Chain A
Amino acid sequence: MQFTLTDDQAALTGAIDRIAEGFDSIPTEFDGFHLPGEALEQELEAGGYFDISTVPEMGPICAALAVERLARLPCTAEIALSMLVRPQVGDDLPRPFALLENGRPGRFVAGAGTLLVLDGDGIGIAHPAAGDTETVESLYAYPMGRLTGAPDVRPLSAEETAKARNWLRVACAAEMAGLMQAALDATVEHTSVRKQFGRPLGTFQALRHRMAECAVLVAGVRRLALQAAWSGDAGDAALAAFHAQDSASKITYDLHQMFGAMGMTLEMSLHLWTYRMKALSSELGGLGAQAASVANDCFTADNPY
Chain B
Amino acid sequence: MEFDWNDEQRTFRATVRAFLNDNLPPDWEALAHGPGSSAQSHFSKQFCAALAKAGLLVPHWPAEWGGRDADPWTSFILAEEMWAAGEPRGGQYMNVNWIGPTLMRFGSLEQRQRYIGPMARGETLWCQGFSEPEAGSDLAALRTRAELVDDKYRVNGQKIWTSYAGLADTCFLLARTSEGKGGISIFLLPMDTPGITVRQIPSIIGEGDIHEVFFDDVEVPATAMLGGEGEAWSIVREALALERVGIPRFALATKMLHRAVDTLRKESRFHHSAQVQAARAKAACEAARLGSYSIIDARCNGQIPGPEASLVRFGTVNAERLVSDFVVEHLPEALSGGDPVMLAHHQRAIVAGIASGAAEIQLNLIATELLQLPREPR
Contact = CB atoms under 8 A, between A and B. Distances in A.
Interface of A: 1-6, 9, 61, 184, 188, 191-192, 199-200, 202-205, 208-209, 211-213, 215-216, 219-221, 223-224, 226-227, 230-231, 238-239, 242-243, 246, 287-288, 290-292, 294-295, 298-299, 301-305
Given A203-B374, A292-B272, A304-B258, A224 B315 contact: no
B237 interface: no
Given A1-B293, A3-B297, A299-B258, A188 B1 contact: no
Contacts of A298: 279, 282
A299 B374 contact: no
A243 to B, nearest CB: 4
A223 B363 contact: no
Ranked 4 nearest A-B pairs via Cβ: A220-B287, A243-B283, A212-B366, A208-B367
Contact of B363 (A61, A213, A230, A291): A213
A280 B363 CA distance: 28
Nearest to B277: A291
B373 A216 contact: no
A226 B257 CA distance: 23
A303 B255 contact: yes
B339 interface: no
Interface in B269-304: 270, 272, 275-276, 278-280, 282-284, 286-288, 290-291, 293-294, 296-298, 301
A221 B84 CA distance: 24
Interface of A is mostly: helix
Interface of B: 1-5, 9, 13, 73, 80, 84, 251, 254-255, 257-258, 261-262, 265, 270, 272, 275-276, 278-280, 282-284, 286-288, 290-291, 293-294, 296-298, 301, 308, 311, 314-315, 318, 360, 362-364, 366-368, 370-377
B2 A219 contact: no
30 contacts: A1-B5, A2-B297, A3-B1, A3-B294, A3-B297, A4-B301, A203-B373, A203-B375, A205-B364, A208-B364, A208-B371, A212-B363, A212-B370, A216-B311, A216-B315, A219-B287, A219-B308, A219-B311, A223-B290, A224-B286, A231-B4, A239-B282, A292-B272, A294-B282, A294-B283, A295-B279, A299-B262, A302-B258, A304-B254, A305-B254
A290 B258 contact: no
Interface of B is mostly: helix
Nearest to A61: B1
A224 B283 contact: yes
Contacts of A199: 374, 377
Given A220-B283, A288-B272, A299 B261 contact: yes
B286 A212 contact: no
A246 B277 CA distance: 11
Given A202-B373, A208-B367, A305-B251, 10 more contacts: A1-B4, A2-B297, A191-B373, A211-B373, A223-B290, A230-B2, A239-B286, A242-B280, A246-B280, A295-B270
A220 B367 CA distance: 17
Contact of A215 (B13, B262, B293, B311): B311
A301 B280 CA distance: 18
A255 to B, nearest CB: 12
A291 B2 contact: no
Contacts of A4: 1, 297, 301
Given A192-B373, A215-B311, A226-B1, A291 B276 contact: yes
